[in-house]
């Protein structure tokens, strides 16, 4: 009932490059990382399709359940189901063999209005140097790992990268970021644990300007949206950065753990209400069947999902591509 056309290798390579802007290895990595979500999703609607030629109410109920089960979220799920129901009314029926393509089209239609990334590769605006990227999020979401992978990918793309260790609150945070800086081969600005985070940020910006780096990525302490003193600390960090570069930080990236499903959605709601967030990174999608949360978040927030984590390798932090993501989940 659900099939995917696979042609020869030459066609396949050209197809991915042309349609998704990904190379074959990147698309395979994305497919593998989202395999649990895809398998879980289709197993829930397969039974409802047995022996049926057309999509009926039972199939739509199962489809709705599958979307909610993949943590697409109720708002986005209802929008998708309503669109498919409208098509059934207009076309009189939809064959079960066509459901795959119809679902892809309607999911993409829902995502069309979601904010898009400015760049499809690890590139930077030419008029912002150094580009200052501030990374925020609660503890345990993969914030430090995301920073390390970002540093690797920007460096791989020919950029001069520097790290700033402004998480002076959590034990071993500076050590962990130092290990990443050594592993990737980029400089790091750091102070001892307990130091003023804004002082670290200030010095990091100074050094980034002096050394003419392309991008400065600053780690911050894991914080909850409802911890007033931590949110004030974040505001202070932003202020000291802007004293040296008026329009910086150029990006405030909120890192979310995709494996927590709706909890990630709630974190995004609270953080965006408490401080200005300009981009989102959703990690740990390879270990969960809840990868649909990316669709829910992309649809509900007027903030671009910029990066997704689909594996352990440094290359498995990918720039979010709506078309490729939908193709990997729905096939």
CATH at residue 188: 3.40.50.300
Q: Which of 111-115, 269-273, 310-314 has the lowest mean pLDDT?
A: 111-115
- 81 in the same domain as 224: no
Instruction: pLDDT band for 44, please (50, 70, 90 cuts).
Output: confident
Both 92 and 239 in one domain: the answer is: no
Question: Does 219 have pLDDT greater than 60?
Answer: yes
- Predicted local confidence at residue 226, as pLDDT: 63
Considering its fold, how many domains does the chain have in total? 2
Are 215 and 268 part of one and the same domain?
Answer: yes
Would 100 be classed as within a structural domain?
yes
Q: Is the pLDDT of residue 214 over 90?
A: yes
The confidence score (pLDDT) of residue 312 equals 92
pLDDT at residue 1 is higher than 60: no
- Taken as a whole, the chain contains a residue count of 331
Q: What CATH number should be reported for the domain holding residue 58?
A: 1.20.120.140
Over residues 42-68, mean pLDDT: 87
Phi, then psi, of 23 in degrees rounded to 5:
-85, 175
Residues 230 and 182 in one domain: yes
The Cα 319–Cα 310 span in angstroms is 11
Name beta bridge partners: 317.
309
Asked whether the predicted pLDDT for residue 79 surpasses 80, the reply is: yes
Same domain, 294 and 151: yes
Q: For the chain, what percent of residues have pLDDT higher than 70?
A: 92
Q: Is the pLDDT of residue 196 over 50?
A: yes
* Whether 219 and 261 share a structural domain: yes
pTM, entire model: 0.88
Of 158-167, 168-177, 209-218, minimum mean pLDDT range: 168-177
- Per-residue model confidence (pLDDT) at position 20: 65
Report the pLDDT value the prediction gives residue 157, as an integer from 0 to 100: 95
The average pLDDT across 75-99 equals 89
pLDDT in tens, 103-124: 999 888 888 777 777 777 899 9
Distance from chain centroid for Cα 75: 19
Statement to judge: residues 64 and 148 lie in one domain: no
Percent of the chain with pLDDT strictly greater than 90: 53
**Cα gap 222→91, rounded to integer Å:** 51
Q: How far apart are CA 41 and CA 68, in angstroms?
A: 9
> For helices 35-49 and 57-69, what crossing angle results, to 10°?
160
* Residues 50 and 181 occupy one common structural domain: no
Q: Are residues 100 and 152 in the same domain?
A: no
Mean pLDDT, to the nearest integer, of 7-31? 64
In a domain, 119, yes or no: no
Highest mean pLDDT among 45-49, 75-79, 180-184, 304-308: 180-184
Tell me which of 4-18, 53-67, 195-209 is least confident.
Answer: 4-18
Q: Confidence band (pLDDT; 50, 70, 90) for 225?
A: low
Q: Which of 11-25, 39-53, 79-93, 239-253 has the lowest mean pLDDT?
A: 11-25
Q: Determine the pLDDT at residue 223.
A: 74
- Segment 219-245 shows an average pLDDT of 85
Region 232-248 average pLDDT: 94
Quote the strand ranges of the chain, DSSP E.
131-136, 161-166, 188-189, 215-220, 251-257, 279-283, 305-309, 317-319
Task: Answer yes or no: do 158 and 222 share one domain.
Answer: yes
Q: 273 lies in a domain?
A: yes
Q: Among 88-92, 123-127, 177-181, 201-205, where is mean pLDDT lowest? A: 88-92
Most confident residue range from 68-77, 149-158, 166-175: 149-158
Q: 213 and 73 in one domain?
A: no
Residue 86, domain extent: 9-111
Q: Does any domain span residue 20?
A: yes
In a domain, 312, yes or no: yes
- Do residues 35 and 96 share a domain? yes
- Stated as kind and residue range, the H or E segment containing 224 is none
Q: Label residue 252 by pLDDT band (50, 70, 90).
A: very high
Q: Are strands 131-136 and 279-283 parallel, antiparallel or unpaired?
A: unpaired
Average pLDDT of the segment spanning 94-110: 88
């Amino acid at each position: 009932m659900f099939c995917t056309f696979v042609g020869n290798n030459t066609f396949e390579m050209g197809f991915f490059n042309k349609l998704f802007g990904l190379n074959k290895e990147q698309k395979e990595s994305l497919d593998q990382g989202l395999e649990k979500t895809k398998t879980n999703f289709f197993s829930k609607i397969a039974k409802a399709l047995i022996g049926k030629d057309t999509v009926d109410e039972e199939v739509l109920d199962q489809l709705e359940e599958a979307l909610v089960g993949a943590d697409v979220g109720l708002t986005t799920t209802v929008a998708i189901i309503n669109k498919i129901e409208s098509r059934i009314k207009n076309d009189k029926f939809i064959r079960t063999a066509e459901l795959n393509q119809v679902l892809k089209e309607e999911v993409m239609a829902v995502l069309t209005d979601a904010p898009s990334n400015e760049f499809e590769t690890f590139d930077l605006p030419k008029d912002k140097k150094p580009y200052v990227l501030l990374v925020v999020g609660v503890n345990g979401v993969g914030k430090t790992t995301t920073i390390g992978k970002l540093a690797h990918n920007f460096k791989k793309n020919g950029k001069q990268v520097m790290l700033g260790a402004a998480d002076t609150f959590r034990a071993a945070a500076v050590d962990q970021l130092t290990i990443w800086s050594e592993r990737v081969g980029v400089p790091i600005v750091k102070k001892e644990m307990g130091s003023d985070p804004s002082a670290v940020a200030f010095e990091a910006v100074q050094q980034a300007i002096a050394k003419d780096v392309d991008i400065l990525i600053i780690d911050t302490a894991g914080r909850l949206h409802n911890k007033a003193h931590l949110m004030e600390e974040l505001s202070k960090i932003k202020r000291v950065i802007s004293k040296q570069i008026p329009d910086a930080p150029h990006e405030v990236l909120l890192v979310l753990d995709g494996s927590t499903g709706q909890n990630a959605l709630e974190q995004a709601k609270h953080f965006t209400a408490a401080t200005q967030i300009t981009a989102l990174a959703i990690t740990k999608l390879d270990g969960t069947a809840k990868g649909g949360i990316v669709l829910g978040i992309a649809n509900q927030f007027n903030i671009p999902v910029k990066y997704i984590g689909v594996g352990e390798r440094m290359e498995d932090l990918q720039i979010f591509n709506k078309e490729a993501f939908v193709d990997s989940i729905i096939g």
